[in-house]
Structure 1
Amino acid sequence: MIMDFWDFFWLMIYAFFFVAYLLVLFQIVVDLFRDKELSGWWKALWILFLLLVPLLTSLVYLISRGRGMGHRQAEAVVEARRETESYIRDVATASPADQIAGAKALLDSGAITQAEFERLKAKAMV
């Protein structure tokens, strides 16, 4: 059986809407488990309805809880950014003692002068 252009075109349209629908379902499930105010029973009920009547339930969820989804997503992004910046700050910065020890090692090896060591030491203390 040979597929003509229009069959292929409609297959692509159906595939696009199917993938978009799966992404919406995934976002709804993630939002359900991200919501700290919703009890476990309500979460289970939403999941049950998503399994039984997925299209209607997802539309009702997006209409009734869509604004909260946006707020929870924004909070998650801010929290992830805060954790990333904290991790980078912890990893990237050496303690003053480590900086002074490194400068002392350079001084002992003769790579820097005493004046340069004092300057590095003063900079590490700030």
Structure 2
Amino acid sequence: MELAYDYPLLSMFWTMLWFFVWIMWLILLFRIIGDIFRDDELSGWGKTGWMIFVVVLPFLGVFVYVIARGKGLGRREIDHARAQQAEFDAYVQRAAGVGSRPSSADELAKLSDLRSRGDITDEEFRRAEDLVLSGAGTAAGSGTTTASTTAATASSPTAPAGH
């Protein structure tokens, strides 16, 4: 029967060291397996060959893979992270409605700004405000907003200059 005081401190240290080295090796093994499948430049036969090498001779396979393809391992990891970030950003923009039709409040704020600068008259402001509030704030099919349409009208030669 072995008791705790029969296990020397140095032996416990070496046991813990080997345990953590083994865990680090397992993490490296799974990263390499993921990299094998993620690499688009590697053919199907190449992926199969590396997988057999890494599974049949795990220690040697992992070390040879790191020596042979280690430089690209980091680059592919970074490219994968960037692609995931770009997909996430696109999803967030779609979910938040960025780039879609501006809200009525935004339209009214633009119109108010145009009126305060003197680019449009009070009558033009009231007509555009009625259009925005009625829900007809965008021209059909053109995507131009009421404020920009009104601003274009205000800059025409027949419109009164408000400056």
Alignment of 1:53-72 (within 5 A): 53-72=57-76
CA spacing shift, 1:82–1:10, aligned 2, 3 Å = same
Per-residue CA distance 1:71-98 (angstroms, 9 max, x = gap): 111110110111111111111236326x
Other-structure match for 2:151: none
Aligned: 1:33 with 2:37: yes
Other-structure match for 1:21: 25
Aligned-residue offset at 1:117: 7.5
Distance 1:51 1:15 in 2: 20
Moved more, 36-45 or 22-31: 36-45
Aligned: 1:50 with 2:54: yes
**Structure 1 gaps, min length 5:** 104-115
Q: For 1:119, give the aligned amino acid.
A: A
Distance 1:28 1:93 in 2: 38
Number of aligned positions between the proteins: 111
Considering only aligned residues, what root-mean-square deviation do their CA atoms show, in Å? Answer: 2.6
Aligned: 1:91 with 2:91: no
Distance 2:21 2:73 in 1: 21
Q: Describe the SS at the equivalent of 1:38.
A: coil
Aligned: 1:119 with 2:124: no
**Rg bigger for which structure?**
2
CA spacing shift, 1:96–1:120, aligned 2, 3 Å = farther
Per-residue CA distance 1:28-82 (angstroms, 9 max, x = gap): 1011000111111221111111122111111111111111112111110110111
More helix by share: 1
TM-score for the superposition, normalised by structure 1: 0.75
Aligned-residue offset at 1:6: 2.1
**Structure 2 gaps, min length 5:** 114-136, 138-144, 149-163
Moved over 6 A (4+): 120-124
Aligned residues: percent identity?
32
Q: For 1:65, give the aligned amino acid.
A: R
CA spacing shift, 1:24–1:118, aligned 2, 3 Å = same
